[in-house]
């Protein structure tokens, strides 16, 4: 799927602006009230991206975690739209509210004509932006398989995967941060189950696929976006040669 160069420039600019706003808010409010910081962060990040999209692409539909009405999770007009921006203005809200953590992200993705067309992930606290239009080199394998997992909700079946691959688990926050860690070769895989939505994975998956990585559901089914129900509960992103052993170990454990 080809997109306009201006779409990538817009996505990168909005992710960057939202990231700077989130860093400024962190400095201003501090960490004495994590709940307030997280709440304000979600709203400010969403405002930056939403206002930018409405100004630059007023005819496009939007699916945002923090949106409402037609631009929220219950909107229906996006289902007949040709272009839908899928955004998560603050992925890893828990980590954003904890001092010293850099594993939170800003996601901006574009779904067009039936498939993911573009993804940009900003990791503001790491001073890093990744884009599917300018993907990094394909990562090289490490000495031992490393699997990124949720800090708070690691899937129970992962013990079978760890045993099958003699792997090491690496807990971290934010789906965007975990997929980015695979893209950059810091880990070899990311496995998730137990609840996510399309905005959690759209932008990171677009980048992973552009980098030549495997991305699917945990049963191997393809990931699809802009569905009537935006829940997308599970995800495997990994180096291509690990997909068969990981998916096989998951299948045997269930």
Please state the residue numbers annotated as binding site for Mg(2+): 65, 88, 90-91, 200
Side-chain-side CA neighbours of 178 within 13 Å: the count stands at 28
Residue list for the binding site: 65, 88, 90-91, 200
Measured between alpha carbons, how far is 246 from 233 in angstroms, rounded to an integer? 17
Phi, psi of 151 (to 5 degrees): -65, -35
Alpha-carbon span 66 to 111, nearest angstrom:
18
Asked whether 110 and 133 are in contact (CB, 8 A), the reply is: no
Smallest Cα–Cα separation from 178: which of 165, 196, 191? 191
Q: Which of the 8 DSSP states describes residue 222? A: P
- Residue 35: CB atoms within 10 Å: 8
Q: How far apart are CA 143 and CA 86, in angstroms?
A: 36
Query: Which three-class secondary structure state does DSSP give residue 220?
Result: coil
């Amino acid at each position: 799927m080809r997109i306009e160069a201006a779409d990538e420039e817009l996505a990168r600019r909005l992710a960057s602006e939202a990231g700077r706003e989130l860093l400024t808010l962190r400095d201003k409010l501090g960490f004495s009230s994590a709940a307030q910081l997280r709440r304000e962060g979600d709203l400010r990040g969403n405002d930056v991206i939403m206002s930018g999209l409405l100004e630059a692409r007023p005819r496009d539909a939007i699916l945002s975690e923090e949106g409402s009405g037609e631009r929220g999770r219950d909107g229906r007009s996006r289902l007949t739209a040709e272009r839908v921006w899928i955004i998560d203005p603050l992925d890893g809200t828990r980590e954003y509210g904890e001092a010293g953590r850099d594993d939170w992200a800003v996601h901006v993705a574009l779904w067009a004509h039936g498939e993911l067309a573009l993804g940009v992930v900003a990791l503001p606290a790491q001073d890093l932006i990744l884009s599917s239009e300018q993907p990094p080199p394909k990562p090289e394998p490490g000495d031992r398989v490393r699997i990124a997992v949720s800090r708070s909700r690691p899937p129970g079946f992962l013990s079978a995967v760890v045993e099958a691959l003699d792997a090491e688990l690496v807990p971290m926050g934010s789906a965007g941060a975990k997929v980015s860690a695979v893209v950059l070769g810091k880990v070899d895989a990311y496995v998730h189950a137990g609840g996510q939505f399309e905005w959690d994975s759209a932008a990171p998956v677009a980048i992973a696929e552009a980098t030549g990585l495997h991305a699917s559901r945990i049963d191997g089914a393809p990931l699809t976006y802009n569905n009537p129900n935006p829940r997308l509960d599970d995800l495997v992103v990994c180096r291509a040669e690990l997909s068969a052993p990981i998916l096989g170990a998951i299948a045997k454990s269930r």
